Amino acid sequence: MNQIIAKSNTKYVDRDVLKTLARISDNQASHNAAEEVVISGKQLSDISHAVSAVNMFEGHTARHLAKMAKLDKHMLSRRLPDALKRGLVRREDSEIGWLWYSASKKEGEL
């Protein structure tokens, strides 16, 4: 069962969510930052931006998506795997790296 470990402004943080943002071996500052990203809503906002970028520019690497959508490439590289875990996007291996696609379209669809 998931444990609630923090409460701020009536927002609760799930321990499993924080595990994906900061490793056990990370220092306390990283854990504090991870908690703040979740509590503030920035993680969900960033995931939303990442999904929008993929929907607009499918079939590109995170680096190219960041350039085309004018987003920070590091943020995009962190949030696309979060979106993938939530089933909001999908990725495919290619010679140049992972290519990102909308979850609603299958390979070969237009």
Which CATH number is correct for 4-102, 1.10.10.10, 1.20.1250.20, 1.10.760.10, 3.40.50.150? 1.10.10.10
The answer on pLDDT for 68 being more than 70 is: yes
Cβ within 8 Å of residue 57, ≥6 positions away: 64, 65, 68, 69
pLDDT digits (tens, 9 = 90+) for 28-61: 898 888 888 888 889 899 999 999 999 999 999 9
Q: Dihedral (C-alpha) 22, 92, 98, 18: value to the nearest 10 degrees? A: -10
Average pLDDT over residues 72-96: 94
> Is the separation of the CB atoms in 91 and 84 below 8 Å?
yes
